[in-house]
């Protein structure tokens, strides 16, 4: 055991490398998830706009996921509308779009909820 103690500082450097790479991997996965949600939201937004009944498009998509991919999580009616809202909130804003992937999905959900609450309050006072 004492022989291991003399290498502890060197071993700690290996642990630091592992932890650093794990953190980078998490950020990359988060970045891809955010971009995926944005792209799905864009697709739903366009399809809903072009469809006669936008809501039925989303419901049909939910049914498709339930039937073909029952183990896929987060693709409920609520989840898909959140993705649509996410896309519509940030579309066309080039300054914000580069920062989108820096936050987690749960942080984006909080922001969207606050914006929605603020908008309700704003329209009440107009």
* Per-residue pLDDT tens digits for 13-46: 999 999 999 999 999 999 999 999 999 999 999 9
The mean predicted confidence, pLDDT, of the chain is 85
pLDDT band, very low/low/confident/very high, at 120 (cuts 50, 70, 90)? low
Both tokens of 89, joined, read 């909130």
Both tokens of 39, joined, read 């792209």
- Cα–Cα distances in Å, from 72 out to 13, 35, 58, 83? 38, 18, 16, 15
In this prediction, residue 65 carries a pLDDT of 96
pLDDT over 80 at 126, yes or no: no
Which residues does 103 contact at the CB level (< 8 Å), separation at least 6? Answer: 34, 111
Instruction: Find out whether 108 and 86 touch, Cβ atoms under 8 Å.
Output: yes
Spans of all domains in the chain: 16-125
In this prediction, residue 56 carries a pLDDT of 84
pLDDT over 50 at 115, yes or no: yes
């Amino acid at each position: 055991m004492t022989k291991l103690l003399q290498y502890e500082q060197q071993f700690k450097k290996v642990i630091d490398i592992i932890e650093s790479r794990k953190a980078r991997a998490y950020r990359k996965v988060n970045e891809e998830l955010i971009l995926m949600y944005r792209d799905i939201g864009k697709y739903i937004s366009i399809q809903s706009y072009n469809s006669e009944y936008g809501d039925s498009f989303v419901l049909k998509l939910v049914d498709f996921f339930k039937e073909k991919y029952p183990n896929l999580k987060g693709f409920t009616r609520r989840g898909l509308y959140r993705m649509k809202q996410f896309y519509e909130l940030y579309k066309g804003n080039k300054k914000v779009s580069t920062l989108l992937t820096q936050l987690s999905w749960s942080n984006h959900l909080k922001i969207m909820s606050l914006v929605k609450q603020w908008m309700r309050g704003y329209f009440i006072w107009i």
